[in-house]
Every structure is written in C-alpha cells, then in structure tokens.
Amino acid sequence: MIALRNQQPVVPVAGVTADKLIDSFDDLRGGTRRHNALDIMAPRNTPVVAATAGKILKLHNSVAGGLTVYASDPTERYVFLYGHLETFRTGLAEGALVRRGEIIGFVGSSGNASLLAPHLHFAITRNDDMRSWWKGNPLNPFLIYRGR
C-alpha cells in the first residue's frame, strides 16, 4: 500500500477532500457481503476524476454497479473501480491513458444505487494481471487517504 500512497492519489470526486471520507469498506451489503469499497456521496453529475495516472481497462455496465470505469495505475499493480456513474466522459475509451485528476465520468446512481443518493462507489484492488481487471485483492481506499 505504500507504493500506492507514494503515487499521491487524489480523492476521485471533484471538491471532496480526504477529511470528508467515511470508511464504509467493512460495511455489509445484502446482509452478508462485505462492501470492499468507499461510497463517496456527491451531487449528481459532480466530476469523477482518475485517482492516479494510468490506463482505462474497461468501460462496463452491470445491473449492480451500473456504469463503471476500471482503470490501472501506471505500475499496473492496482485497479481502480469507479461505479454508479451517471455518464462516462465524452470520448473516454478503453486503452486510453489518463492523467491523475483527469475527468473520467460523473457521479450518479446507476445500477442498484438509490436514485435519492447519488455517489461514487470507489474500490481498489491489488492485481498482477491487468487482463483480469475484475479480479484482485481488495484494498481499503480509506487507508490510502486517511490511514497515514
């Protein structure tokens, strides 16, 4: 996790500072499943930015996560998941390189998120095979930003 902290990731929702994050990583979802992510509440259509520089691995749409961006960091050791987006940024494409802080989408409530509670579902996994972007060991993003 130190290698990731050294990249100085930005909080991936414009205008949200680390001191406003709430640790929801270990919260239960569906009664039995661990959340393994942070929910960062923000008004609908607030810009979502790349936490670090890296590459867009997958633009995805699922019943649970809704519109989701999967991106790697520059070392290709970590995968960032940005879920429940309202929309992707126009022109964003798989394989594109992104800069730290670059807009990749906008906060929403797609998938199984409540329409009354737009937010970014933000997850990080440690993954040594970027071809399997959906796999990896979950890391608590809260510890990246507040666990110093």
Which pLDDT band holds residue 1 (cuts at 50, 70, 90)?
low
Residue that is written with structure tokens 């790697």 in the block:
72
**How many structural domains comprise the chain?**
1
Average pLDDT over residues 119-137: 92
Helix/strand/coil for 143: helix
Domain that includes residue 104, residue range: 2-146
Which pLDDT band holds residue 137 (cuts at 50, 70, 90)?
very high
pLDDT at 128: 87
Task: With CA atoms as reference, report the closest residue to 125 among 56, 81, 94, 79.
Answer: 79
Query: pLDDT of 65-119, one tens digit each?
Result: 899 999 999 999 999 999 999 999 999 999 999 999 999 999 999 988 888 999 9
pLDDT top residue among 2 and 39: 39
Query: pLDDT of 5-55, one tens digit each?
Result: 889 999 999 999 999 998 988 777 666 777 788 999 999 999 999 999 999
Task: With CA atoms as reference, report the closest residue to 37 among 99, 84, 81, 89.
Answer: 81
Break the chain down into helix, strand, coil percent, rounded to 5. 10, 40, 50
CATH of the domain at 55: 2.70.70.10
pTM over 0.85: yes
